[in-house]
């Protein structure tokens, strides 16, 4: 079964930066058609619903962002390494959450904001921003 593994979370002071990574688990690395699918990042803060953060289409030509991260976060992908990234700058305490990456369930030219469009999820990585 395909799995996604997030890394790069941690504790950072407000105004700082983190770079999250999401990779396909090694068990299916060679056969997983990573390059064909859009990917997304979502987050869930304590006591809150999981929400959309950013998404990127199959070749990186289309990116979507939630309004609250525009200008601060950048999503990218490396199809050779089969990884996606979320560069997070100017972090705020309200960015504290568990961050998840996910794979779009269908092949499409663009990317999606809705969680219902994603079928494979990672376990998440904790990001904590102190004030």
pLDDT mean for each 10 residues of the chain (131 residues): 88 98 70 82 97 96 95 94 95 98 91 95 96 94
- Residues 3 and 22: beta-carbon distance below 8 Å: no
pLDDT at 34: 78
Q: 54 with 86: CB under 8 angstroms?
A: yes
N-terminal to C-terminal alpha carbon distance within the chain: 40
- Looking at residue 80, its pLDDT comes to 86
pLDDT at site 102: 95
- For residue 115, the model assigns a pLDDT of 97
Tell me if residue 44 falls in helix, strand or coil: strand
The CA distance from 86 to 71, in Å, is 13
Confidence (pLDDT) at 31: 59
b/e code 32-64 from CB counts within 10 Å (16+ = b): bebeebbbbbbbeeeeeebebbbbbbbeeeebb
């Amino acid at each position: 079964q395909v799995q996604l593994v997030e890394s790069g979370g941690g504790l950072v002071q407000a105004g700082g930066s983190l770079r999250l990574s999401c990779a396909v688990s090694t068990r299916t690395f060679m056969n997983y058609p990573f390059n064909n699918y859009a990917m997304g990042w979502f987050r869930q803060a304590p006591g809150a619903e999981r929400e959309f953060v950013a998404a990127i289409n199959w070749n990186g030509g289309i990116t979507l962002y939630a309004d609250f991260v525009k200008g601060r976060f950048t999503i990218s992908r490396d199809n050779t390494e089969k990884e996606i990234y979320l560069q997070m700058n100017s972090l705020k305490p309200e960015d504290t959450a568990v961050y998840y990456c996910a794979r779009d369930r269908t092949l499409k030219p663009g990317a999606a904001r809705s969680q219902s469009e994603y079928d494979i999820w990672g376990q998440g990585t904790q990001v904590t921003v102190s004030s």
